[in-house]
Amino acid sequence: MLDKFLLKKSEPALPNSLLNRLKEARKKPMPNHVAIIMDGNGRWAKQRNLPRVAGHHEGMKTVHKITRFANELGVKVLTLYAFSTENWKRPKFEVDFLMKLPGEYLTTYLPELIEKNVKVEMIGDFEALPKHTQQAIENARKATEQNDGLVLNFALNYGSRLELVNVVKHISELAVAQQIAPEDINEAFVESCLMTSHLPELDLLIRTSGEVRLSNFMLWQLAYAELAFTNVYWPDYNEACLLEAIEDFQTRNRRFGSLG
């Protein structure tokens, strides 16, 4: 049953009503950097009496669909929380399956990503990933490094607390080596040490599946981001869902602590 379910299905064309809304959204300020906590794969599969890995596989198809639509919208960076530093606690079979998904995704869709001028990047502890996962990510990085369109940024083996601990260690080492003084350390300096230092500031965080928490994701970067939570499980998340989040973002008055 699972094998039959995993067969690739053709993707229907977007309805004209959605395309018209897309055109209108592009006339308004677009979030430069959107991040998504992709949640609910396991529960989606359970509702259908399928193994959890079937939900992860269907979620991979959603990654492709949402990446393509974000590119059409004109989003500059799409960061996807694919695997956290805490996810290693899951059963080995599930972890092994998740570690194979980057290779399957990039093997299947890399030609299209190259054609659409998408650049693949990653934040997280790269060295702790299995070799085959490292190879898939590295191949995609090299194949798309000259692209200057949407940055598809996978947060893979990523945890914000680990990131911040590494920043503190790095700054401490510089201080011990007398390469910086205490007065050199400010917000801009800390940001320059983050994994996202080369990316635009995070504008919008979306979390699927009805959970309302940040789960150790980009805690520094989220300081002034807009937040959007939806009950939709990630495998069911579609272009209309993303557009709705963007349209809502465009109605918000972002004051950044001032009176606006």
**Catalytic site residue 3?**
no
Catalytic residue among 87, 139, 216, 238: 87
User: What angle in degrees, to the nearest 10, is found between the helix axes of 52-73 and 16-25?
Assistant: 60
Contacts by residues 116-119 (CB-CB < 8 Å, ≥ 24 positions apart): 116/68, 116/71, 116/149, 116/150, 117/147, 117/148, 117/149, 117/150, 118/67, 118/71, 118/144, 118/147, 118/149, 118/150, 118/151, 118/152, 119/144, 119/145, 119/147, 119/148, 119/149, 119/150, 119/151, 119/152
Catalytic residue among 16, 20, 32, 39: 39
**Catalytic site residue 253?**
no
Residues labelled as active-site residues = 39, 87
